[in-house]
Amino acid sequence: MFVTSLSPFAYGACTQFPGKRWVRTRIVVAGAGYVGLTGALCLAQLGHTVACYDPDRERISTLQAGTIPLREPGLQRLLDAAPGRVTFATRLPDGPVDADAVLLCVGTPARPDGSCDLSFLEQAVADLAPRLPPGQLVITRSTVPPGTNRRLQGAFGERARVVACPEFLREGSAVADFLRPDRMVFGAAGPEDAEPAASIFAGLPGKRLVTTWEAAEIIKYASNAFLAVRVSFANELAGLCAHFGADPAAVMYGIGLDPRIGTGYLSPGAGYGGSCLPKDVGALLHTAGTAGCQLRVVQAAAQVNDEQPRRLVQRLAEAAGGLAGQPVALWGLAFKAGTDDLRASPALRLLAALREADATVRAHDPAAMEAAARLEQAPLLAASPLEAARGAYALVIATEWPEYEGADLQATRAVMSGPWLLDCRNVIDPGAARRAGFHYLGVGR
């Protein structure tokens, strides 16, 4: 074990590392997705000089033109404020890498069996390895299974000192999460490698934990798995609330008043989604399976999440006397408000369940229309929430956008052919919905 006082072979938490911050540090960032782009621009904001590269030509061209290619609050402001401190390219210049640190921020998507696809990471390592000077600091920000960073160290050999520094960024608040972290985790061969990695992030708040590569990797997966368990627990408990007529909001609030529990991720809904929780839960379960371990609680949480959208649509179909041949409006496609990300979105699982019920679906989303149009089985899209609802027998609210929470319920009901409203995010006041003429169904309500 390491102690974060940096005495060898002990581990624990501390508030800050000793030592001075590096001045005018030159950093290479591999990957310009959510993690890489957020990291590059936030590090430039901290005063570092950053070269970010990604083989996606369209994305890099957009960034070189001064525009952010994804929806994430605060990134455009950081890009506008960082001329001369951050550059973008599809590949690194020829010759040896000239940087104080290299950050690996490439995607590690899920394979069909739930395992983690490391091909992008392996390609980045293959490109970098022959060009690194001896002792190059390499920081892995990509989410990877336990044992990956140890293998990376073996692949780099003496050319690199590999440090695992998993990110804990949430889409929609990635900039704030980077600049105001609650903790930072550094997995390394020893504290002498962790200290220079930590110095790059000097000045940021939050506790620091120095640990082994494997512990850092598991911390990332376990954190997301635990959040997934909380979401599925809330959705399971909402069913019990509905049976006894209890208000699920009051129940969750009462549970969250216990300081050992808190209120985060205890809101009943359509389930969790996005680029992290589903992928990381699946990868953790796959990793545990290959190790001969059973994570029954995590497995149950994943199963509840998979079933939740179908369960909600089934409830609507039973209440409405069936949905076959009926037009249904779907408000929301992104996995949560504030983003255009459709990856593992519960809204898309609701769409699939509605199609299984033979409903005809017309959808709207304030941000994800362009991405939805590119789906292999794209839904019919409407230019506005009201247009999506026109002629609909039922309305399903799948994403908690403010536009839907503040919608004119009277006007919406007036253009619909039927009275049914399934609020999968509990953003509508049931009384207001009923006064507008809706038969309201919420989650646990």
CA-CA distance, 37 to 215, in Å (whole number)? 26
Closest CA to 210 of 16, 27, 36: 16
Residue 276 designated active-site: yes
Closest CA to 365 of 406, 412, 391, 398: 398
151: amino acid identity, one letter: R
CA-CA distance, 295 to 287, in Å (whole number)? 10
Marked catalytic residue, from 52, 276, 293, 424: 276
Instruction: Locate 246 and state its tokens.
Output: 């209890």
CA-CA distance, 395 to 361, in Å (whole number)? 10
The total of other beta-carbon atoms located within 10 Å of residue 439's CB is: 15
The helix-helix angle for 148-156 and 213-244 (nearest 10°) equals: 160
Beta strands in 204-293 (DSSP E): 207-211
What are the distances in angstroms from CA 304 to CA 169, 184, 271, 307, 332? 24, 30, 8, 5, 21
The helix-helix angle for 346-356 and 296-320 (nearest 10°) equals: 50
> H-helix or E-strand containing 331?
strand 327-331
Instruction: Kindly give, in sequence order, each residue whose CB lies less than 8 Å from that of residue 375, ignoring residues fewer than 6 positions away.
Output: 342, 348
8 A C-beta contact, residue 138 and residue 159: no
Which residues are known to be catalytic?
276
